[in-house]
Structure 1
Amino acid sequence: MYQEERLIGILQHMQRHQRIAIEDICELFDVSRDTARRDIVKLEEQGRIVRTRGGAILPTLTKEVSAYGERLMTESAGKGAIGKAAAGLLRSGDYLFMDASTTVRHAAEQIRTEGHVVVTNSMDIAGLLSPREGFQLHLLGGSVHPVHRFIYGARTVDMLSDYQADKLLIGTGGLTENGMTNPFEEEGYVMREMIRRADQVILLADHTKFGLHQFFRIAGLERIDKLVTDREPPEGLKAALQKNDIEIIIAEGETTA
């Protein structure tokens, strides 16, 4: 087996278990301890892991953020299923907040109900929904992030203080037992204000967000009412969600509480 193949296998193991020991690598891939150490060093050089005595752990802080177009295509099947399930939670006439996440954009594409009033900081969602007959679209003002296509800033948060909505469809960069996180502090302030002003918070997050912790904490789990995802969360996270009475909706149709 080539080193690159082992590195992929090591990372896959760590995604499931969060850590790996030198002995685990030796056993899993039938290699020597020296080879296992070289693999760990290589992954550390790539910034993929944190080396520890006798092995490695995944970094606590996730720093990589892909451009909007790339994120839109990543896990697109799962995000599409999540979007369809989330759109099915809406009722005609709902007043909605929608943030600028790519998964929420998938939900916007799937809306089949009518008569919505939508407030958003997403340029793409505004463009998608503004031609829809019977929709009222309010695009928040402020500064525009040219790469990630969201609107943010003090003016954005101030405008939100004038609105109240029935439901919020919101994404997240990471989801752990400690709550929702985002790589961008300024966008996080906008998302936090949307949460404050929505009667029901519906979080849309595919399985790749589980266990990730990014720079800015948006809110704790207690602020979420429903989670729409594409796979069962890991046991620790699932227990924390259940403790906070969050309804878990699996996009394939299975629902647990």
Structure 2
Amino acid sequence: MSELPLNEEMLPAARRQHLIEWFEANHSGASQELARMFGISVSTIRRDLDVLASEGLVKRTHGGAVAVRNRATWEPSTDVSRRTAVEEKQAIVREALRFVSPNQSLLIDTGGVVCHLLADELAKLSMPLTVITNDLYVAGALTYHENIKLHVPGGTCRPGSYSLLGAPGEAFLENIRCDIFFMSAAAVDEECVSETAIEMSQMKRAMVAAAREVILLADSARFMERALHRTVPIEQITRIITDEGLTDKSRQRFPTPVPEFVIAEM
């Protein structure tokens, strides 16, 4: 993107309007990147983003902000998601690894970059594990590891994704009983976890039913939103691992003691 004609002397309201227009065309931006593009300091861009976040126009992340979208049907591409809330996702994965121990059976979700990052870290471990996944990226990351017994349910690959969906995988999962399901989600609120595609919701419900414990991995930008298709009630989630961006006020809206919240430190 070319340099934008902004500077520190521009009126704050005018500068923030340019920021709003930029976020209408782009999903996410890092503070340093935005400061460079707009020709202003990082501290100024952070103040502007804080103002826009207070007005509900963007959601702040540790390194910048993401655009507020209607999550009912919209979902970012895998490439965009990989560049969004990167530090938050990495912190969530580090926390998730604390719940992994030798000889466990792990079910790893599809449709979320956070699950791809988890697979990359699991591939570095030497402990024996059994992993079931319907995500081709996760399966690829864990292939050729002698300590990992890998199962990939059948299904049809969803266009533009790594997800295997459909009846063959759901039937396979009916006879699976695993220790932990590491779950991702398009959106999360105090009532349910939801997805943009009905086939994704159906597969995730089968995964939840196959696990003794369900751990949801979701960065704070996904909270207090509702996608089109309800997946499972929030009470079916054992534990939620998220980042520091989820406010205490939002957490207090969720039932207790399930799910338990674990806040990953940045």
TM-score (normalised: structure 1) = 0.76
Alignment of 1:147-186 (within 5 A): 147-186=160-199
One-letter amino acid of the structure 2 residue matched with residue 105 of structure 1 = H
How far the C-alpha of 1:242 sits from its partner, in A, is 4.7
How far the C-alpha of 1:11 sits from its partner, in A, is 5.0
CA distance in structure 2 between the partners assigned to 1:69 and 1:16 by the alignment: 23
How far the C-alpha of 1:233 sits from its partner, in A, is 2.8
Q: Which of 117, 127, 141 is the equivalent residue of 1:106?
A: 117
How far the C-alpha of 1:87 sits from its partner, in A, is 1.4
One-letter amino acid of the structure 2 residue matched with residue 13 of structure 1 = S
Label 1:6 to 1:165 Cα distance change in 2 as closer, same or farther (>3 A).
Answer: closer
Alignment of 1:1-257 (within 5 A): 1-2=14-15, 3-5=17-19, 12-15=53-56, 61-100=71-110, 101-111=112-122, 112=125, 114-231=127-244, 233-252=246-265
* Secondary structure of the corresponding residue to residue 250 of structure 1: strand
How far the C-alpha of 1:63 sits from its partner, in A, is 2.7
CA distance in structure 1 between the partners assigned to 2:258 and 2:126 by the alignment: 27
* Secondary structure of the corresponding residue to residue 136 of structure 1: strand
Measured against aligned partners, the alpha-carbon deviations of 1:42-87 in whole angstroms (never above 9, x if no partner) come to xxxxxx99xxxxxxxx85x533212222212321211111111101
How far the C-alpha of 1:232 sits from its partner, in A, is 5.2
Contact 1:143 1:152 in 2 (8 A): yes
CA distance in structure 2 between the partners assigned to 1:6 and 1:167 by the alignment: 41
How far the C-alpha of 1:148 sits from its partner, in A, is 1.9
Which stretch shifts more, 101-110 or 193-202? 101-110
Contact 1:204 1:228 in 2 (8 A): yes
Contact 2:182 2:217 in 1 (8 A): yes
Structure 2 equivalent of residue 26 of structure 1: none
How far the C-alpha of 1:250 sits from its partner, in A, is 1.3
Structure 2 equivalent of residue 32 of structure 1: none
Q: CA RMSD in A?
A: 2.4
Which stretch shifts more, 75-84 or 201-210? 75-84
Gaps of 5+ in 1: 19-47, 50-57
How far the C-alpha of 1:245 sits from its partner, in A, is 2.5
How far the C-alpha of 1:154 sits from its partner, in A, is 1.3
Contact 1:87 1:108 in 2 (8 A): no
CA distance in structure 1 between the partners assigned to 2:244 and 2:253 by the alignment: 16
CA distance in structure 2 between the partners assigned to 1:151 and 1:17 by the alignment: 32
How far the C-alpha of 1:198 sits from its partner, in A, is 0.4
TM-score (normalised: structure 2) = 0.73
How far the C-alpha of 1:114 sits from its partner, in A, is 1.5
One-letter amino acid of the structure 2 residue matched with residue 252 of structure 1 = E
Contact 2:128 2:147 in 1 (8 A): yes
One-letter amino acid of the structure 2 residue matched with residue 177 of structure 1 = E
CA distance in structure 2 between the partners assigned to 1:17 and 1:144 by the alignment: 32
Contact 2:220 2:242 in 1 (8 A): yes
* Secondary structure of the corresponding residue to residue 154 of structure 2: coil
Contact 2:157 2:165 in 1 (8 A): yes
